[in-house]
Every structure is written in structure tokens, then in C-alpha cells.
Amino acid sequence: MSYSSGRHFLQIPGPTNVPERVLRAISAPTVDHRGGAFGRFASELLESTKEVFGTASPVIIYPSSGTGAWEAALVNTLSPGDSVLMFEVGQFSTLWADMARRLGLNVRFVEGDWRSGPTPADIERILTEDSAHAIKAVGIVHNETATGITARIGEVRKAMDRAGHPALLLVDAISSLGSMEFRHDEWGVDVTIAGSQKGLMLPPGLGFNAISEKAMGANKTARLPRAYWDWQSMLSQNKIGFFPYTPATNLLYGLRESLAMLREEGLENVWVRHNRHAESTRRAVRAWGLEVVSRNPDQQSSTVTAVVMPIGHSADEFRRVVLERFNMSLGSGLGKVADKVFRIGHLGDFNDLMLAGTLCGVEMGLAVAGVPHSRGGAAAAMEHLTAMAQQAQGTPAAVR
Ligand SMILES: Cc1ncc(COP(=O)(O)O)c(C=O)c1O
């Protein structure tokens, strides 16, 4: 293989770029994970991890990928045969429902077209109809990474309350936490599921469950078998800064650093930055004359933009050209939309110029791969980025 000069552009929607500061933190020597120093470090870390979830409740950290954290949320709160309400919004919501079935749950799966997600009104209607309260949990993906479709979790909670339904609210925030607004306590989420490799700017390998008091109550009577994922054995050890098995020590050092970075930038500023990059990307897509997968403007993701490939053109071939020619990885279409969609990840440790470079790469790639489009997408994005920067600087518009 020949050397590619310059840096690789990793524009998949996770794993994301790991910043130098985090890489350096991870490179510390391993220590005794049952020693006092580690216990003190982990106690502080477990406490400070709550902030990014917007919770005062316990947050559990597993040495796992996000899929493990999905399983943990289900087996700790539910019993065999329990009904769970889930929605088809893309590949990840489909996989989560599949997991729930394999665990012996009765999944009420609301089919979707992968272009839009459920509205709070849809959820309210279904729960109101369930007057016997057979549904024990609503499992919803905050940001469906395969399609770039989001759910408004605060509104979902209100819909559940309007229906007067006692189901638990389980939320997959794997590709939104640390990038998009998220408020576990304020939104009344019962279990928030997250992973390390997206907005938290770490390599893959940590899975998270933030747990409400109500979910903790459900845990006492839940009968699905669990061992590795058991919250109680984790929480009792966490009280003294330890874990029931070997934690991913060095990723935890990285987590301390990435949380410090998010705090230094300010979580709300992080959310605004992601919104700005997403809006700029959508403007680019529109200027190219292409379509964003997510049809409803109020359901469009701030971390990933999925783009529909013109009929008769292969998204995978386009991505191959972009990788070979411009050293940039774009996300593939997953499941039903394989080869029909490509995804631009714009999350994590990312800034305006990195986005401009990314969109230039996409635009040049479209031309090189012979995909029909109009020029000027990158320019449209730059115009928006410039206007936002001018607004932030207080520069009069006339200077433009
Ligand atoms: C929304 C969402 N849920 C679940 C997963 C699965 O997580 P993992 O691949 O870390 O197991 C992903 C992975 O990208 C995801 O984006």
C-alpha cells in the first residue's frame, strides 16, 4: 500500500476522530483496578459522568459497545414476555427490536419508511389505546444513525404523560449524547443508553446506562436473566469506585479527559456547533440537488446527514472513489438502504474548516464518480458558516 500524505478524513458517524488530548490520556500506564488510587479516580469519574447525561441519578459504565448497553437496559428492567413498543426508523432501531425479540420480549414494532420517525402524537395514540397498560416500555432511538432521523425525547415524554401511561422510557442516545441536546432528568427518561465512540470522542469500548429511580424500581422485579449486565452488582461495587469485573481502565482515563473538554467548551456550545454543522451540510446537499433521507425538518439529525443517491448510481462506488482519491471515509448505507444512501458524519471533535474540507471532498467525489449534481454545495455551506461566524463576531452584514 502506498503512503497517503496528509491526514485521513474520518467522516463516518462514529467511531469519530479521537482528539490528541484523549489519546494522550489513554496512553497512561495500566494500574491496579482494585487499588485505592484507581478507586478514588473511578468514584470521581462516575460522579462527573452524570453531567453530560443531564442527570443526578447513577450512570453505569460497562466495558462494552453500545449493543451491550442496549441489552443491559432491557434485561435489567423487563421480564420474559413483557411488551415493548419500538419504532422502525432505520437499521439500528430494527436491530434493537430484533435483540428484544431474541431476549424473549414481545415487541410491538411500528413499521416505518426509513424517511421519517414517529411523532409524539403517534406515541400518545398508541399508548392511549393500550388502556390495560400491557406495554411495559417504550424503546426509542434519539438519533437513528442509519438514516439521520431524530426523535424529540422531551415531547415523547409529554405524550406518554398525556396518555397517562406508566411504561418506562428507554432511550438510545448512542449517536447523540455529547453532541445534541440531551436531558435525562428533565425529559423523564428512565434509561439512557450511550456509547463512547461518538460524541464522547473516545475509541469504541464503553457502554453506558443512566438510570432513573423508576427504572431502579423496575429492576427489583424484572426477571429477564442477567449476569454480566446486572445493575445491582455493578452499583454496589461502584459505591467504592470498583467494578464487579475488570473495567476498561485506560478508556476511563480518556473519558475523564473528553468530559473535561466538553465542559471547557460548554455543553450548550457543543450542541450549537453540531446544529450549525448539520444545517450547513443540509444546505450543501440541497445545492447539489440531492435529497436528505430525513424528510421532516424537525426530525433532522445534528450529527449525521444521510444522503439519497440518484437512482442508478451506487453509493458504495461513490464512497470508494472518495476514499481512494481524497482519503476520506464516508458512512455506508445500512440494511434496506445499502448502496442507496451515503452518510456524512459531522460529530465529535470537529470544526468549521474540517466540515468545509469534508464537503469539498464530497463535491469533488460526486464529480469524479460521475454522479449527477449541481456545483456549489460546499460554497453554500461556507456561506452559512461565514454568516454564523459573522453573527458570533458581531460583524455588520455589509462587510460581506
Ligand atoms: C443509534 C445506534 N444505536 C446502536 C448502535 C450500536 O452500537 P455499537 O456498534 O457500539 O454496538 C449504534 C452504532 O453505531 C448506533 O449508532
DSSP string, 225-269: --STT-HHHHHHHHTTT--SS---HHHHHHHHHHHHHHHHH-HHH
**Closest CA relative to residue 199, chosen from 283, 265, 119:** 265
Candidate from 92, 141, 294 with most ligand 1 atoms within 8 A of CB, to mutate = 92
Candidate from 145, 294, 334 with most ligand 1 atoms within 8 A of CB, to mutate = 145
Residue 357 banded pLDDT, cuts 50, 70, 90:
very high
Residue 366 — left, alpha, or beta (φ > 0 → left; ψ -120 to 50 → alpha)? alpha
Ligand 1 atom at minimum distance from 68 CA: 11
299-317 mean pLDDT:
98
Residue 364 banded pLDDT, cuts 50, 70, 90:
very high
60-81 mean pLDDT:
98
Q: How far is the CA of 379 from the centre of ligand 1 (A)?
A: 32
N residues, the chain: 400
Return the percentage of the chain with pLDDT > 90, whole number.
Answer: 97
pLDDT digits (tens, 9 = 90+) for 182-196: 999 999 999 999 999
Q: How far is the CA of 126 from the centre of ligand 1 (A)?
A: 26
Residues of 329-364 as b/e, b for ≥16 C-beta within 10 angstroms?
Answer: ebbbbbeebeebbbbbbbbbbbebebbbbbbbbbbb
Collapsed DSSP state (helix, strand, coil) of residue 171: strand
**Closest CA relative to residue 117, chosen from 86, 66, 151, 92:** 151
Residue 33 banded pLDDT, cuts 50, 70, 90:
very high
Q: Record the cell numbers describing residue 220, joined without a space.
A: 427489583
Whether pLDDT at 377 is above 50: yes
58: CB partners within 8 A, 6+ apart: 46, 50, 210, 211, 235, 238
Residues of 274-297 as b/e, b for ≥16 C-beta within 10 angstroms?
Answer: bbbbbbbbbbbbebbebbbbbeee
pLDDT for res 63: 98
Whether pLDDT at 267 is above 60: yes
- Ligand 1: residues with CB < 6 A are 14, 65-67, 92, 141, 145, 172, 174-175, 195, 204
Whether pLDDT at 398 is above 90: no
Ligand 1 atom at minimum distance from 95 CA: 4
pLDDT for res 399: 45
Strand order in the sheet with 135-141: 59-62, 207-211, 191-195, 168-172, 135-141, 83-87, 106-110
Q: How far is the CA of 142 from the centre of ligand 1 (A)?
A: 12
Whether pLDDT at 133 is above 60: yes
Ligand 1 atom at minimum distance from 143 CA: 1
Return the percentage of the chain with pLDDT > 70, whole number.
Answer: 99
Residue 223: Cβ-neighbour burial (10 angstroms; 0-12, 13-18, 19+): exposed
Whether pLDDT at 1 is above 90: no
